Amino acid sequence: MVWEGVSMERPLVVELEGVSVRRYTTGQVILDEVDWSVRGGEHWALLGANGAGKTSLLRLVGAVQHPTSGSATVLGHRLGRVDVRELRAMIGHVSSSQRVPEDLPAQAVVLTGATGTVQPLWRKYDEATRERARELLAELDCKDFADRPYKFCSGGQRARLLIARALMPDPGLLLLDEPFNALDLPSREDLVDALARLAVNRPGLTTITVTHHLEELPPTISHALLLREGRMLVSGPVDEVLTGAHLTACFGRAVAVERHHGRWQARSAH
């Protein structure tokens, strides 16, 4: 964006400078000298083989762990100089491994995002909070099963409920840790559509999605980062990063990449 000849860049949401993470017990390097900048409204895909360091990088950005060396700044707060409990409250985090009471109705699951608790704190939820939960249920196409117990929701419905829950405090950054895990094809496509709508309806929201499969990326993904053995192989605009050459280098086998109507496909080049 340009205003009266001056370039107006979106604010930095994540800034990592020379970040390394080592396992204290063994000295093993998990992340090695990572430099990474993420700006407001960008939608990043984070890819790499198992053990590449994706989870550690997401934990760092989510203020769950600190770097061994280097500096990490998230939403304007540098790790080590901020109360991480307050910072975490500003970050939405979605993972298929999250603990959710199975008997809770879907709407109650979303409400718990307002208090960051596993169980509902009913006295904390005023009418405005409940109305926000209803709006998010509608936005994520969950309104029709708002009263259904979580245990009776499908995998795709659960994934969308967890996203609605993470959006309750209106975070500036949403982290999606393998949200498509174990979803069948219709559920995957429902979630892809939901994430694409979020990107359009919430231009200020920044997302980082960890996935193993290019087919799971919504067409609104704008940037990508490839990790290999704890090192950043390449990062930048998605069209420049998700190439056959880069993915071949990332995964260690020949990969061919295609894109149709905004969606990506990857397969063996042999």
The answer to the question of residue 147 being in a domain is yes
The answer to the question of residue 135 being in a domain is yes
The helix (run of H) or strand (run of E) holding residue 197 is: helix 185-201
Instruction: Determine the Cα–Cα distance for residues 262 and 218; give it in Å rounded to an integer.
Output: 8
The answer to the question of residue 49 being in a domain is no
The answer to the question of residue 184 being in a domain is no
pTM of the predicted structure, to 2 decimals:
0.91
What is the 8-class DSSP label of residue 172? S
Given the structure tokens 């390097």, which residue do they identify? 29
pLDDT value for 212: 86
pLDDT value for 7: 40
* Count of residues in the chain: 270
pLDDT value for 8: 59
Q: Which residues pair with 186 in a beta bridge?
A: none
Which segments of the chain have a pLDDT < 70? Answer: 1-8
At 24-43, the pLDDT tens digits run 777 788 899 999 999 999 99
The answer to the question of residue 150 being in a domain is yes
Given the structure tokens 């001056």, which residue do they identify? 6
The answer to the question of residue 3 being in a domain is no
Instruction: Record the tokens describing residue 74, joined without a space.
Output: 């998230």
The answer to the question of residue 176 being in a domain is no
Q: Strands (DSSP E) along the chain, which ranges?
A: 2-3, 6-7, 12-22, 29-39, 43-48, 69-74, 77-78, 91-95, 173-177, 206-210, 223-228, 231-237, 255-260, 263-268
Q: Strands (DSSP E) along 59-182, which ranges?
A: 69-74, 77-78, 91-95, 173-177
pLDDT value for 74: 95
C-alpha 167 chain-centroid distance:
12
CB 224 within 8 A of CB 44: yes
Buried/exposed code over 151-172 (b: 16+ C-beta within 10 A; e: otherwise): eebebbbbbbbbbbbbbbeebb
pLDDT value for 2: 38
The answer to the question of residue 128 being in a domain is yes
Q: How many domains does the chain contain in total?
A: 1
* Containing structural domain, residue 107: 97-170
Q: Cβ neighbours of residue 138 under 8 Å, at least 6 residues apart?
A: none
